[in-house]
Chains A and B, each alone.
Chain A
Amino acid sequence: MALYSEKVMDHFTNPRNVGKIEDADGIGEVGNAKCGDIMKIYLKIENDVITDVKFNTFGCGSAIASSSMATEMIKGKPLSQALELTNKAVAEALDGLPAHKMHCSVLAEEAIRSAIKDYYDRRGIAYDKSQFPEPHGEEEHNFEED
């Protein structure tokens, strides 16, 4: 289908890092089934570096491809760097997403952020709260209405 770039189709058809980590150090879940996209990300963290990452996603081609690409982009990276990942960077790495599909890449960024926050919370590590705004979830979808 020409709706998506070859890169998107590659990550959709052969998603990287699918699965779960039973003894994850941080887990993040955003979106909800009602609005059609849920992303759940599992992190393994050692010395502030993401040593492993897995995801489970319920959602469209764009959501699955964004999850796959985003996990590739943060694997082996320090948390500080993972926190800087934006949905725009994910979309660019996928050679672009159709405009009405951009919200699906937002979920990837938010899921990673939420998993890192979970890790900090579990370890009692202090952090700057402003770095973790509430995931947009459902309201975020409003902007795509024409």
Chain B
Amino acid sequence: MKTIYADNAATTAMSDAAIRAMMPYLKEVYGNPSSLHTAGQTAKEALERARADIGGCLNADPREIYFTSGGSESDNQAIRSCAENGAVKGKKHIITTAFEHHAVLHTVKKLEKEGFEATYLGVGADGFVTAEQVKNAIRPDTALVTVMYANNEVGTIQPIREIGAVCRQAGVVFHTDAVQAVGHIPVDVKADNIDMLSLSAHKFHGPKGAGALYCRRGLPLKTFIEGGAQERGRRAGTENIGGICAMAEALKEACAGMKENTARLTALRDKIIDGLLKIPHSRLNGGRENRLPANVNMCFEGIEGEGLLLHLDARGICASSGSACTSGSLDPSHVLLALGLPHEIAHGSLRISLSEYNTEEDADAIIKAVPEVVKLLRDMSPVWDELEKGQRKHLIK
């Protein structure tokens, strides 16, 4: 049985070019970039080339790129750094949204426990915040605004440029978690008025455990991993040189192919959405406009998501769900709840996230399998039974 991997928002396969870019640094060029000898300096040159390449893809200066272990670390460092810098000036207020990734939300929650105040902006039924909301939330003591570029579950792309402009005007630092955006949609830190940005290689066919933090020149960045002078003293530790070179290669490749991939993936995505919306009592989560080209997120009334995933897996399809039982917690996805979905509905969610490696046949197989599995689960669901008998009210038309 062929595996159809449709969970690319969780992680992606590395591209051949990225693997090729990584190989020399595992065996031939193994020097430490901090060493003076040729072996070290060759690695150092590769490191700086990667920095320039990544800066180039974001319209940033190479000196504004700091390598980290991934999206979570970048988010943690950006937010904590701004919080600490703000606190010195008596600014202890942070603005974010209700549906950020936990790398952001848990960091902000922790800062709240440490005496900061946080505003969690609502994201509306379609999964968008507005610049107006941000503007209204900014206070004289606001140290940071952090709003994700695109949401990892429902794929909605936020009005980052407008939010950035509002922050610039108010003189507040603006960070964006662009982990789901970079390599998938155009990101330009200058045009988008971004002060700090997090990215992660494994979301665009790069390796796991490599990421970067963009920090605009002139903005002070605090160090949290103490040690050597790597990353100009902002992040100690011998560089993951192979991972970094592979990340740069993957990003260049993603940016070069972006236009073409976007057109093809958007068509595949819409085909899947339209195909699955034919299932009675189903809905698309998150607006269709300003949505990541590869993201499908839907709910099917009367069923629970984990069962859906297991049956799809048995048919060779890898997807994900925001149900409580898959997250291992009591509540279904905080993202779906932030969109205002009732718990009953949020449990029955399915996320399909494509990549350029998916084919038309994959889409067809998904459109065939999901309705079968939904029916199978509905046929044994007491909730569906009650809905059908009119003993329970349909929450999805």
Contacts and interface: CB of A to CB of B under 8 A. Distances in A.
Interface in A1-23: 1, 9, 12-13, 15, 18-20
Classify chain A's interface size: 20 to 34
Nearest to A145: B330
A15 B306 CA distance: 15
Contacts of B218: none
Contacts of B384: 58
Contacts of A145: 329-330
B310 A61 contact: yes
Contact of A36 (B311, B332, B342, B379): B332
Contacts of B324: 35-36
Interface in A33-76: 33-40, 55-64
B131 interface: no
B342 to A, nearest CB: 8
A36 B380 contact: no
B146 interface: no
Given A13-B314, A36-B323, A62-B325, A57 B385 contact: no
A136 interface: no
Interface string B315-342: 0000000011110111010000000001
Contacts of A39: 382
A129 B104 CA distance: 50
Given A36-B324, A58-B382, A60-B325, A1 B307 contact: no
Given A33-B344, A34-B344, A58 B303 contact: yes
Contact of B380 (A18, A35, A37, A104): A18
Nearest to B332: A36
B236 interface: no
Given A12-B310, A60-B306, A33 B325 contact: no
B325 A38 contact: no
Given A35-B324, A57-B382, A141 B304 contact: no
Candidate in A12, A39, A58 with the most chain B CB atoms within 10 angstroms:
A58
B162 to A, nearest CB: 37
B290 interface: no
A58 B306 contact: no
Contact of B306 (A9, A56, A61, A142): A61
Given A1-B310, A59-B307, A61-B307, A37 B325 contact: yes
A144 interface: yes
Contacts of B382: 29, 38-40, 56-58
A40 B323 CA distance: 20
Nearest to A39: B382
Contacts of B379: 18
A83 B183 CA distance: 58
A145 B385 CA distance: 30
B326 A56 contact: no
A33 B347 contact: yes
Nearest to A31: B382
B325 A101 contact: yes
A62 to B, nearest CB: 7
A12 B383 CA distance: 18
B200 to A, nearest CB: 25
Contacts of A36: 304, 323-325, 332, 343, 347
B192 interface: no
Nearest to B314: A13
B385 A56 contact: yes
A88 interface: no
B326 A60 contact: yes
Closest 6 CB pairs of A and B: A60-B325, A60-B306, A56-B382, A40-B382, A33-B344, A34-B343
Interface of B: 302-304, 306-307, 310-311, 313-314, 323-326, 328-330, 332, 342-344, 347, 379-385
Given A12-B310, A35-B330, 10 more contacts: A12-B307, A29-B382, A33-B347, A34-B342, A36-B343, A56-B382, A57-B382, A58-B381, A59-B325, A61-B306
12 contacts: A13-B314, A20-B385, A35-B330, A37-B325, A38-B382, A55-B380, A58-B304, A59-B307, A60-B304, A60-B323, A61-B310, A64-B380
